[in-house]
Structure 1
């Protein structure tokens, strides 16, 4: 089968299209023919080994494992292992590969108990492929880590990216009053997703407006730490989906220990129940994955180049089979 392999760290050109062995499902696995996958900020960070600690997990000098990137996908189950009971051949599914990656290939095997769910009937594979990474991360941060409540004031920093576009929609679904922070070009998009207020960070510093929020959710790791804390109400929560250095982690721990405000980071692991919840929202018309650009499989390097700009709106999707 064809797959894009990353055998060294560097620019998008390190992504090489190779012929590798097609996987065979183990007893508890399903074999998925991938119709669509994505290139996310996580893929970009692994490819660049940025931040540096990436190398401690994937190889100090070059990637030594998980050389096929891609953490979300949608497709059709082609075969199942002998012990599989939750799915059958022919099921149309979407899901995430987690830290194992491997989605940028024609086929992938995943455990049936993993992050897999039946694809929503009212969206195509390309949109379903973009329903895992950003949406589940934002869901887990807002609902589980932030305990979002109806009527709260929530600010989404980086509201136009994969996490941000999902976070705006989810926060509105949970009944919050949402403020989205983004650049000038993305104000219309964020407003169209349901944001009650939008702030152009190139023209206005929200931390100096005098307004306060129950939750500030930084989806991109670029919000001003001290300013965000000042912008929180008493017992407010500062959610950080991206911790890029140890200093910011210890700073968050100190702030949480010495004030009424909490700084919460960590990871968000995809779960099947979360995917099923998101699928139900999609089928009810309460959520829609935002697609910025679509690329054919052979142009994954070009997709990486675009993601590297840091200015994508929502998700970048890769189509494998028509």
Structure 2
């Protein structure tokens, strides 16, 4: 009986210590977590190029530098026309998208005015390679618009998607049972040292809500793409047309890139590209058609997934100066345009 009592007391003490630890960690790191609101524009899809619909988006992000650099998910800001960031202390800023990798689902934004750090916490980045299955983690974000919400869980697994992302790196996600809902996207997943090990990305669900299977883009991949390499933001949503689809669209090469939307501040707009304006469904997939079909940029023929991946490295060198040509199909005609940096 005495032994059971001692074990029970030890259990209570252990539970209390963990609870206190999580509370202290939240107090330490939560001021680094921001609410991100976006405004995006795209064609209404009604066959009229002039009719545009505007949509508002909601997500989360995490402050990673003293000068206002913030990590978030690519799908939160990739085609945004305007990005607003709100901190827990009430400060609100407008931000610019600097870099975005849709395949890895990570993005970097920066506050575009004088940033006052005040007492905001700058999140520390952890080594996601060191993360162990079963390790305790917690997520802070804005699920369904409820700001500064904490959910906790464990690392349930790791998932590497097939192929490489547009930075020649494996696409890696950390799985967790910590609750992730709309609005959490782009928010940080912390380990119990208060370090960011992932950026909340997506869920797998049969109910349409959170079923206990959530994923975050790993911090090591985010670090390499967003901080260790030159910034590139295409500002475009696109679909690779190949095989039968290439024939249907009369593409004069093995494949081409159908432009869906173009943000006014991204690379796509600089290239003079236009998105689709007619809603269509092809093989069960909704598309905006009528936009440009990219064929070639700077001598790189966009006729395969590998070619699209290699394009980023080419664009990095082009940003250093000089000019290059862009070739695209518009209304059945091939157009070649010279672009200068």
Q: Please report the TM-score for the alignment, with normalisation by the length of structure 1.
A: 0.26
Q: Please report the TM-score for the alignment, with normalisation by the length of structure 2.
A: 0.25
Whose relative contact order is higher, 1 or 2, with alpha carbons under 8 Å and at least 6 apart?
A: 1
Bigger Rg over Cα: 2
Greater share of strand: 2
